[in-house]
Amino acid sequence: MNAKKILLNSLLALGLAGMGGAFAAEEVKVQTREEVRTQHQVETAGMTVEQREQYRLEQQANMTDEQRAALRAEQQKAKAEQKKDKSATKQGGGSGAMLRDGSGAGSQRGGQGGMGMGR
């Protein structure tokens, strides 16, 4: 009986070791944004607004943690690039002298400009 248990346990251990290698070989495929967008357009081509919303909720529920993390990182990177581009092309960054006589556009004084008597 004892020899039989040892034999069965060793066979079980060998079987699990063999299966562990098969599971370790699985690779998680993370799709690019363009692949996801194309797949989404194909799948939602003939849907109504309500059907699209239901589909979106289902797809969000089916996302793995790795996919969520990859999407979040991609969105943060895109926002950082937009912010950098916006600050690089920002107009009026303080490089010139400002007129303080009130003659510029957006003056809160009346039509005369300057600092006259308060009306």
How would DSSP label each residue in 95-109? -SPPP-SS-STT-SS
R_g (Cα) of the chain, nearest Å:
32
Name the residue among 34, 26, 38, 19 with its Cα closest to residue 64.
26
The string of pLDDT tens digits covering residues 82-103 is 988 887 776 655 555 666 666 6
Type and span of the H or E element at 79: helix 65-88
pTM of the model: 0.35
Query: In the numeric block, which tokens belong to residue 29?
Result: 């495929």
Predicted pLDDT of residue 21: 58
CB atoms within 10 A of CB 30: 14
Average pLDDT, the chain: 74
The string of pLDDT tens digits covering residues 31-71 is 788 888 898 888 888 889 999 899 889 888 888 888 889 88
Could you tell me the residue ranges of all domains in the chain?
32-79
Q: Are 11 and 19 in contact (CB under 8 A)?
A: no
CB atoms within 10 A of CB 71: 15
* pLDDT tier for residue 76 given thresholds of 50, 70 and 90: very high
Give the residue-averaged pLDDT of 109-117: 55
